[in-house]
Chains A and B, each alone.
Chain A
Amino acid sequence: MTTNEIIAEVFYCLIGIIFVLVGVKALRDGGMKRRISTALFWFILGFTFIAGPYLPYWVTGIAVVAIAVITATGGVKQSKSNDPQPEETRKMADKFGYKVFIPVLCLAGFAVLAASFLPFGASNAIGISAVAALVVLFFVTKAPAKATISDGTRLMDNVGPIGILPQLLAALGALFTAAGVGDVIAKGVSAIIPQGSRFIAVAVYCIGMALFTAIMGNGFAAFSVITVGIALPFLISQGANPVVVGALGLTAGYCGTLCTPMAANFNIMPTALLETKDKYVIIKSQLPVAAVLLVVHIFLMYFLAF
């Protein structure tokens, strides 16, 4: 293993430990439903992060299937956390003021600096910045070390199993590639895109992202399918800058999220929260912006990528 790979493994172990601690938190919560299956989910996930690279890959494959079985049967619930109370956070806010933003700004700032100036790679830079920001955090707040563990596991529990969706989708992309799914989509799409027309290819990709996202209500899932099927054969292999195509591809999908009741937690549930008369008032006010931004995406991607 190279130095960078060893550093990466250390960070993956830390993530694995956080997963295990979320499981331990569930085990300790005697009053929660589905306690054992919840703990099992987090333990298995932690195991794949820590031990995955040293085992035959099919072992991790089985672990992934086991995780899916647990979530499919509703086996993962949130356990009781020590949630910060409003009085507590208000008191702290008055004491520390805007200084509390410093560690958060460091988190993003250090990542960019570490990626630009340290030789450990952009992915490791995220882990390095997380550790460095933690040090800054202790200086600013004098928080007890224990707080990082309890608040870290609390947030991870809040995020829940959905947090591993991007990683799973990347794995799904690998199976799609092995089966040649991209080629099949590409063959179908080639009927629409005239030979060598870059602009139409860009437009089809952006609109395809928005449409698929609107249908599924999830931009991440759309991205893994549409990027393999359209962006790779018609844009990236035609010389388009992959950074531009990737970055703008996902946000083009979000234009679709703005238009769809399928993305209920963004567009429909808040109307209940705000007690509106019209259930679709959020979508209606978003439509013009979504349309403008989708057009912007197409032109921006075309001019930046080629």
Chain B
Amino acid sequence: MELLKLIGVVIVVIGFILKKDTIATVVLAGIATGLVAGKTPVEILDILGKAFVSQRLATLFVLTLPVIGVCERYGLKDKAVDLISKAKGATTGRVISIYLGIRSLASAFSVRLGGHPQFVRPIVNPMAQAAAVVRYGDLDEKTEDDIKGYSAASENFGNFFAQNCFMGASGTMLIVTTLVEQGVEVNALQIAMMSIPIAVIAFVVGVIHNHLLDKKLNKRFQQVAQEEQK
């Protein structure tokens, strides 16, 4: 009967896999868990309500939205684009690495750059492709795909691994509230500071990865050139 208590975990896993409504899945998992554990409906509502009220700090990021929203209106994203455009003349890997750096910093300061639709498609990928065309001439489909993949990947690396460096990030607050709810006292400043090492490491690993892309492309097109000479 012990295993029955895992029903909530099962509901969360299945709900997310089947892309059911996220909020309803989580609430349903909570209620089911409470029922299986023999709590009355009122007890369940009490626990749910108490935890929801006491963990409101997980939603503190809302307070940062007015500043970010107004800055967007005053050209925040346009200036980020200007910054990236300065990378003209760099190799494909370097263009992508420069974006990775800017994306990581933006993420660490909770700036929502809008990611794939607003930066990768219109700016980073075209610049990275152009850099390759300048060096190697016409690109084959496989190379174009590779560059697209690396461009999109750098968006994800920067976004994921740097975001918790911001104290008010929802990930940071999730860590704080989850641990506090379990009786472990930690605060947002501690979590944000402890998130810096992995943000830096992820940036370095990403840059090496992009450097290896340059090497790979060099090698690929050297071979093509040699074969053409024969």
Residues of A within 8 A of B (CB): 8, 11-12, 14-15, 18-19, 48-49, 52-53, 56-65, 67-69, 71-72, 74, 84, 88-98, 100-101, 103-105, 107-108, 111-112, 115-116, 121-123, 125-127, 129-131, 133-134, 137, 141, 143, 147-149, 151-152, 154-156, 159, 161-181, 184-185, 187, 212, 215-221, 223-225, 227-228, 232, 236, 242-244, 246-251, 254, 257-258, 262, 266-267, 269-271, 273-274, 276-278, 281-282, 284-286, 288-289, 292-293, 296-297, 300, 304
Contact = CB atoms under 8 A, between A and B. Distances in A.
A232 B34 CA distance: 21
B-side binding surface: helix, strand, loop or mixed? helix
Given A58-B42, A276-B148, A281-B148, A123 B175 contact: no
A261 B202 CA distance: 21
Contact of A96 (B74, B150, B175): B74
B71 A100 contact: yes
A16 to B, nearest CB: 9
Given A62-B45, A184-B2, A293 B55 contact: no
Interface of B: 2-3, 5-6, 8-9, 12-13, 16-17, 20-24, 26-31, 33-34, 36-37, 39, 42, 44-53, 55-79, 82, 108-112, 115-117, 120-121, 125, 141, 144-146, 148-153, 155-157, 159-161, 164, 166-168, 170-171, 173-179, 181-182, 184, 186-192, 194-195, 197-198, 201-202, 205-206, 209
Contacts of B164: 247, 250-251
Nearest to B80: A101
Contacts of A248: 194, 198
Given A125-B167, A236-B184, A92 B74 contact: yes
A172 B6 CA distance: 13
Given A68-B23, A111-B168, A246-B186, A163 B61 contact: yes
Contact of B160 (A91, A115, A180, A251): A251
B27 A108 contact: no
A167 B60 CA distance: 10
Contacts of A236: 179, 184
Nearest to B168: A126
